[in-house]
Amino acid sequence: MFRELIARAEAAIPGQCAICRAWPSRTLCEPCVAQLGAPQPRCATCALALPAGLRQCGPCRASPPPLDACLAAVPYAYPWSGCIADFKFHGQPGWARALATLLRSTPWADPALEASHHVVPMPLSRERLRERGFNQALLLARQIAPAKTDATLLLRVRDTPPQRALDRTARQRNVQGAFAVDPLSAPRLRDRRVVLVDDVMTSGASLHAAARALREAGVAHITALVLARTE
């Protein structure tokens, strides 16, 4: 609660753009977002950057992921990687408002959110939540779709080591069985459309594991919406 009050107060005070240091400005000024966050062609189902004119990457065509669509706002590179690090690792939940604006501006994000029945943030393990003090995916989801966000539908049922130091195969094995849908909530998900929100997508292992748990509960359509995608 105290963190949220601080974040609201910071949002109401004029400040500098975190990138170009323009003042007075929002946390991310419009020129920086326009120049450094311009949309680029991406794979429709994993959000990897693609040459213009292509809809889907080779791996997704050969082995379709458990996502119907995947949207990413920006690449996980300068300056966005630093902004996300401040948000997640340096105890700055006030970043949620600015980053959610960037997320909501992703092409096709608005139609996906409007068509969805539920917006589901990726859950954190209890250990990670205790360390961080907040779930960054939940903060983003509440900013972009407060009326549809529900953090009780998808549960993290197994703590796992951080994914950062693992290769793709180890990442997939690491999160296998880590997510589940609350059995009491499953009837609310059957034949529904869900937007699954996360901050960063790397291999997609965590998002795919979460999507499979939602599929088992009968979800009809899943769009992953992520702030940044590694390249």
In a domain, 28, yes or no: no
pLDDT at 3 over 60: no
Q: What is the number of residues in the chain?
A: 231
How is the chain split among helix, strand and coil, in percent rounded to 5? Answer: 40, 15, 45
In a domain, 2, yes or no: no
Question: What's the structural domain count of the chain?
Answer: 1
| Across 174-194, average pLDDT | 90
CATH number of the structural domain spanning residue 195 = 3.40.50
Output the furthest CA–CA distance in the chain (Å, rounded). Answer: 50
pLDDT for res 1:
43
pLDDT at 212 over 50: yes
Closest by CA position to 201, among listed 82, 75, 17, 110: 75
Give residue 93's identity as a one-letter amino acid code: P
Whether the Cβ atoms of residue 118 and residue 192 lie closer than 8 Å to each other: yes
Least confident of 74-88, 151-165, 173-187: 151-165
Q: Which has the higher per-residue pLDDT, 117 or 177?
A: 117
pLDDT for res 166:
55
pLDDT band for 9, please (50, 70, 90 cuts). very low
| Across 167-189, average pLDDT | 79
In a domain, 20, yes or no: no
pLDDT for res 177:
80
Q: Which has the higher per-residue pLDDT, 44 or 167?
A: 44
In a domain, 11, yes or no: no
In a domain, 89, yes or no: yes
Whether the Cβ atoms of residue 193 and residue 218 lie closer than 8 Å to each other: no
pLDDT at 11 over 60: no
Give residue 125's identity as a one-letter amino acid code: S
In a domain, 16, yes or no: no
pLDDT for res 67:
98
| Across 52-69, average pLDDT | 96
Query: Which structural domain, as residue segments, surrounds residue 50?
Result: 38-229
| Across 105-131, average pLDDT | 94
**Distance in angstroms (rounded) separating the CA atoms of residues 148 and 104:** 14
